[in-house]
């Protein structure tokens, strides 16, 4: 991690931005943003464990509340969306599932 990215991640995880680690704010964020954000923070030594814990909570909630058995998509219960269409959101949901499985 570069000094710049370390400083940026520290800025992201303090103050108002730290709310992204919390459930309701995180739930309404677009999945593509969350996939990029969690991936970047998972390896950060200052916040990685907190980010991974938050990622796991979010994916558990996705599976419990957002997954629609009829369509196979994560669209229920007000989960965030990038642009209201499902393609990019579902691709990001799969990335979140994979990231959860590959993080310690």
Which residues, 6 or more positions from 19, have their beta carbon under 8 angstroms from its beta carbon? 25
Mean pLDDT of 12-30: 71
Which are the contacts of 75, defined by CB distance < 8 A and separation ≥ 6?
Answer: 66, 68, 81, 86, 89
pTM: predicted TM-score of the whole model, two decimal places: 0.80
How far lies 4's CA from each of 41, 81, 98, in Å? 13, 29, 27
Angle, CA of 86, 78 and 72, to the nearest 5°: 45
If one compares 14 and 99, the residue with the highest pLDDT of the two is 99
Q: Would you say residue 8 has pLDDT above 80?
A: no
Q: If we measure between CA atoms, which residue out of 7, 6, 55, 49 comes closest to residue 34?
A: 55
Residue spans per domain, the chain: 22-102
């Amino acid at each position: 991690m570069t000094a710049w990215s370390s400083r940026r991640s520290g800025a992201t995880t303090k103050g108002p931005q730290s709310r992204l680690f919390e459930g309701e704010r995180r739930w309404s964020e677009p999945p593509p943003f969350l996939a990029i954000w969690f991936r970047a923070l998972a390896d950060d030594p200052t916040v990685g464990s907190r980010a991974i814990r938050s990622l796991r909570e979010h994916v558990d909630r996705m599976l419990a509340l957002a997954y629609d058995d009829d369509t196979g998509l994560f669209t229920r219960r007000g989960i965030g969306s990038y642009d209201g269409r499902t393609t990019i959101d579902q691709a990001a949901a799969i990335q979140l599932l994979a990231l959860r499985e590959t993080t310690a």
